[in-house]
Structure 1
């Protein structure tokens, strides 16, 4: 008999905790619990944070990117907040928080004294830039507009107004979703990635009017310009044509996928002649390309492939990829580095943020021979980076920062997973010629994400090993023949099992104790009580990804900006977005690959309830189903269909 796995989609218990600290050191302890411990932060995914340099805390925010003014005086960031955050450089004072201008206030007509702030706007996946003369800041608002700010000669920043973008960008959404921004050298044209319309928009910076809409690839993310040529990274690659396999990416938009996992195809970089608007080339790169930067001599374009753990180095003369260096410390390390942002420090030194490894990777850039030199620890999920050459300092936005648990320490009160706590890291450039120094920083990073433990688990299985519950190495025998995986959601351990004297719980937080939930209490007594197991998810959208693939990618983390394309938990028509799912596939595909049978009940599927009498209109209520069950009348029924092609062979379609 094959061993098997049953996945029952009910609810996922989300427990997240970490806290504020400084001068952090790791030294992993297997008995450690999530949160603050001995000058370090332990994350719910068992990684440790020991960020280098100075940290600026931004409670309530998820800063997605950073920008530095042309004169090096100001640093800007924003994320999951209706504010632009401005720092004076060097960072010695508290930042300034500038409200976003109202959607009704145009740049031409707005009177600053009468302005009402936009309390619903927030930065999109990315999109923050200074004008070449430093007198303006532009921000991509996820709700379909560009927010404009004025910068005075003394560094004061004030809202200037809003430029609304053309609507009806997709079949099921009216507003555009602007993303990356670039500006012409003379400052007269602003270029906006239309993530939903799949176009590059050209705006007149004197009026805010859209002059042209140039078709590019699918889900454009970033744009950079060189000598009248625009390069646009397309996260979903080429546009689908008849005969292509497709899956939805939300709002009625389909993208190309490939079997057997039915996940998104490699991305591309569109090359556009801005004089004519013609497409000169579309260059295939890695999975989900995002951030891009030119080499200092402008000859090469470096692209961060977030879901491939690679960079693509494009020769702008030949318009071909000349090398694809890995961002993993060792080439055979497992997937999960997520390059999210990059910048050059000098002509041969490239810095790359690795979101899921909480590090800044330092490369020696030699075209055709680029090599990874070492790594510098950051806070949780670095997502943007700029280099302040005047002060030889790297400024990094850490989207998840210290995690929601930091609020417990700061505010002295109980918190919850939506209490975001982003940070900025300000790291003086270490002496990269000192190999011992960079080696120590690298060792710290590797220790922080427990690479030795991961590598040991992936060693070849040893023969004649005794079966144990959880083998030390993949492929070694386990005592279990069958696994029933029940996903529970929206309740913490303490809320349900805090009354269990066998565990480390808080009885005062127990709302749904044994009298209300006798079944789960019996399950944990008959099997095992896991009182120190955590999920890295914050809500359903990323929680289901963590449960089904142990991963949340860069695209998903950036989608917290209002979920503009979909809420990708895979449980409803508008909850499907193939871009948000791991390129490694899901649990059922992994089990099938090693010969395990799997049956899925109620997860990653779309349900429909109905009366058995086809002539009866409407849908039955819970009470109808309850009475039907009690009375055995069989008047109500239901059916499910897969939300993603990969789950179809394993899904029980007669389970709600």
Structure 2
């Protein structure tokens, strides 16, 4: 057998893709999603198709509730369940599966939660009172569930012993009946608080690790357990004060993660930068045990796999993310989301006993992506029930044999699981339920929760009868078939996209991966022929004046907002069945760079929170990236960047990953689009391969400016320079996100930002197609998320355009695709092994490609100057400007603002309206 064939055979077997008579027929079995030929749909009585192409068929009885239920409690009398969302609770009658939302949509029942909420919810022993995490307000809210009134608010702030605490942020909590007290986590001050409910006084404050997230209590009520999901306590630039902060910022991340500079500190742009220490610190991603008799920390356990450890041939780059804990009489069990395993702690003898790997199918078990989150333990302490956030299932784990007995199908994004008192039923929540569905178009009727993607996408609550072995086996098979299918594929077809990494040669040597911001398919491409679009929603299309109100329509005959998008799609190939897995930017920039958002990203991105950078509460400088990834978010062995580095494949980044939670984004920040004051590391693999002369997300900066930056740097390095173009270039052109109108700067309408973006995309493709690299190039154009738009198929449906000599001309793909499909394309072309389960099971997009190249370059179309005036937008760059007086731009991931913009643009009769 030739060496290449031996390699491919080994690869296919290594990822569980067994070849079928490989040596003779040159075939392998590849995994793909089951919805490969279907469009997204919600069918609560049958089978729903998710943006990923996976299917949803929840077991038992299911009801839809408000999105993102990250807290769950069952009343002691077993009659009620309550789910906690950000600023919302849902009361559920378990017997009837009836539910009540608080606040109600008709406003008759008001919310007791004024500033959001986070994770923590518990019933009183009489099942009449709820204790709720107040989140950002640093209090525990006491709520009467029979009278629907708030009866008290217990603040975590104040003096305890000789120390004053302020800026608390309430996280998980539980009721300790033995002491008539609450145990409460304060993620603002990195501590656990004890509150005596008789006196309403704080009796103890115990320092724990960073970003305390999960809380549990031993059956004998003597030991508390705290799971800390934070990696670092993020410092300010040395010497920063509220008065000088604006002038002391640096233009980029200060260092790569887990480097000498990040551990010990460094100097950047003349500023002294403190280090963040080691990821091996006991306070980082750990579990603390606390003796409640003495209020002292007994042990600090580092669970799961540790940063720097080698797993086969890959170095661990992400912490374990221990998040939830179930406790028995001697052992505690901790879910490690990043590692897809459960750590066993013998807390009586103060030692770790190892990990239970969660295994679902031999074909994908070597890859991560299950993301274990909520966990419950049976009374006999022999079985664990684990919510798999990334696999849409509950895993049933046999503790004695440390094996996975089976899987129970759930909704999308399983978050919590609880047992009934008699253990005859399971109660399960999923944060995204059946998905979003359409949020506009002909015949669409807006539901009471609204049409914004974060509102229309409801969560689910399930009641499942405890399955016997036969039923569990059936459920398990259902989960697997909902997640992936295996199909034979020929290796030597001549298609430029190999079926597997390294499976066949390809003429494509260079990939340019362009990401944009916040648009849906129908908004931009809804007019395309031979595709599944709704032209009435194409407010950013061409000749789209018909989307305007009657009073405005005559002012804009033949209005062209996105002529280049339309031309590129028509000249090359696009998909009408492509979806972002993300709801918003914080998810999108994880997904598209090969990292599945973990439980911290999901929960932290869906909570109201206020940054207080100069507070004594370190958790108020919270991680919460938008265009970047924080160390809390890293995958076990990384994502796209780390995969390329391991294979020694060259790459370079323009604009991605330079936006943390606390950056400034003003006109002056033209080097990178941002200015940093809170010091957060960047992924080590990316740090030395990122341009410091290209503006990432910042809608104050025209995309035309980015074009000039890109062309200049590209030419200097890879045309006139001695180096050749890297195999992969990632690039962000974000202004289709939109912002407030600025007529003097060339943005008189909301559509102006899209027109700016459209021209930039056209100009970049024009430039690339006239370089010497074009004959071997593939350009991928997509959005990081669809949150700003409307679509008649699904609110997640978005833009995927492929361009290049080996892309079919005038082609429309109807194959179901998502971010995983893009990553599979990159990995297969560049011969880079897959990283996670989404890569392995993603759709293979061979239908986009041809083996007959057409090297014709692209020629861009100028913008419609009535909507966007390039000269005005670029004028300030040729004269002296008082930067300090320029208004700050919009934040990328301000969900409240995006929600308001969505409804403002949609209106009652103003969808697509150009407004002043």
TM range (shorter): 0.7 to 0.9
Asked if 1 retains the 8 angstrom alpha-carbon contact of 2:666 and 2:674, the reply is no
Distance 1:475 1:74, change over 3 A: same
Q: SS at 1:500's partner residue?
A: coil
Match of residue 123, structure 1, among 110, 117, 136: 117
Match of residue 374, structure 2, among 341, 344, 356: 341
Q: SS at 2:573's partner residue?
A: coil
Match of residue 557, structure 1, among 602, 613, 631: 602
Q: Which residue of 2 aligns with 1:644?
A: 682
Match of residue 203, structure 1, among 177, 195, 198: 195
Q: Which residue of 2 aligns with 1:88?
A: 93
Q: SS at 1:335's partner residue?
A: coil
1:480 aligns with 2:508: yes
Cα shift readout 1:627-656 (whole Å, capped 9, x = no counterpart): xxxxxxxxx877878971432211111122
Cα shift readout 1:340-387 (whole Å, capped 9, x = no counterpart): 111123412221111110001111122xx3211011100111111111
Asked if 1 retains the 8 angstrom alpha-carbon contact of 2:51 and 2:579, the reply is yes
Distance 1:356 1:244, change over 3 A: same
Distance 1:85 1:619 in 2: 40
1:468 aligns with 2:472: no
1:179 aligns with 2:179: no
Q: Which residue of 1 aligns with 2:473?
A: 439
Cα shift readout 1:232-259 (whole Å, capped 9, x = no counterpart): 11123687999794699xxx99865659
Q: SS at 1:579's partner residue?
A: coil
Cα shift readout 1:527-554 (whole Å, capped 9, x = no counterpart): 3212211111111111111111251111
Alignment of 1:275-294 (within 5 A): 275-286=293-304, 287-294=320-327
1:492 aligns with 2:492: no
Gap regions ≥5 residues in structure 2: 1-31, 236-257, 266-272, 305-319, 543-559, 611-621, 696-916
Alignment of 1:358-437 (within 5 A): 358-366=392-400, 369-390=401-422, 392-405=424-437, 411=445, 415-419=451-455, 420-431=457-468, 434=469, 436-437=470-471
Asked if 2 retains the 8 angstrom alpha-carbon contact of 1:304 and 1:311, the reply is yes
Match of residue 151, structure 2, among 129, 148, 160: 160
1:353 aligns with 2:387: yes
Q: SS at 2:390's partner residue?
A: helix
Distance 1:55 1:410 in 2: 24
Greater Rg by CA: 2
Distance 1:208 1:495 in 2: 54
Q: What is the CA distance between 1:50 and its match in structure 2?
A: 0.4
Q: What is the CA distance between 1:291 and its match in structure 2?
A: 1.0
Distance 1:359 1:93, change over 3 A: closer
Match of residue 582, structure 2, among 537, 555, 573: 537
Distance 1:476 1:27 in 2: 20
Q: What is the CA distance between 1:503 and its match in structure 2?
A: 2.7
Q: What is the CA distance between 1:566 and its match in structure 2?
A: 4.6
Q: What is the CA distance between 1:393 and its match in structure 2?
A: 1.1
1 or 2, which has the higher helix percentage?
Answer: 2
Distance 1:363 1:254, change over 3 A: farther
Q: What is the CA distance between 1:27 and its match in structure 2?
A: 10
Q: What is the CA distance between 1:520 and its match in structure 2?
A: 2.4
Distance 1:32 1:638 in 2: 40
Asked if 2 retains the 8 angstrom alpha-carbon contact of 1:405 and 1:415, the reply is no
Q: SS at 1:33's partner residue?
A: coil
Q: Which residue of 1 aligns with 2:204?
A: 212
Asked if 2 retains the 8 angstrom alpha-carbon contact of 1:606 and 1:643, the reply is no
Q: Which residue of 2 aligns with 1:508?
A: 536
Q: Which residue of 2 aligns with 1:308?
A: 339
Distance 2:275 2:691 in 1: 25
Q: Which residue of 2 aligns with 1:580?
A: 633
Distance 1:85 1:535 in 2: 28
Distance 2:338 2:278 in 1: 14
Alignment of 1:32-111 (within 5 A): 32-36=38-42, 39-58=46-65, 60-80=66-86, 82-90=87-95, 92=96, 94-99=98-103
Q: What is the CA distance between 1:167 and its match in structure 2?
A: 7.8
Distance 2:85 2:51 in 1: 22
C-alpha root-mean-square deviation of aligned residues, in Å? 3.8
Distance 1:316 1:265 in 2: 18
Q: Which residue of 1 aligns with 2:712?
A: none
Q: SS at 1:325's partner residue?
A: strand
Distance 1:264 1:443 in 2: 40
Does 646-655 or 128-137 show the bigger shift?
128-137
Match of residue 323, structure 1, among 354, 365, 372: 354
1:236 aligns with 2:230: yes
Q: What is the CA distance between 1:321 and its match in structure 2?
A: 1.8
Cα shift readout 1:579-607 (whole Å, capped 9, x = no counterpart): 23434423222222222211111111259
1 or 2, which has the higher strand percentage?
Answer: 1
Q: SS at 1:191's partner residue?
A: strand
Distance 1:534 1:178 in 2: 35
Distance 1:49 1:557 in 2: 20
Distance 1:406 1:620 in 2: 36
Q: What is the CA distance between 1:328 and its match in structure 2?
A: 2.6
Gap regions ≥5 residues in structure 1: 1-25, 101-112, 608-617, 623-635
Cα shift readout 1:407-442 (whole Å, capped 9, x = no counterpart): 7799457934222311101111111xx3x3222111
Q: What is the CA distance between 1:157 and its match in structure 2?
A: 5.5
Q: Which residue of 2 aligns with 1:626?
A: none
Distance 1:45 1:273 in 2: 45
Does 413-422 or 195-204 show the bigger shift?
413-422
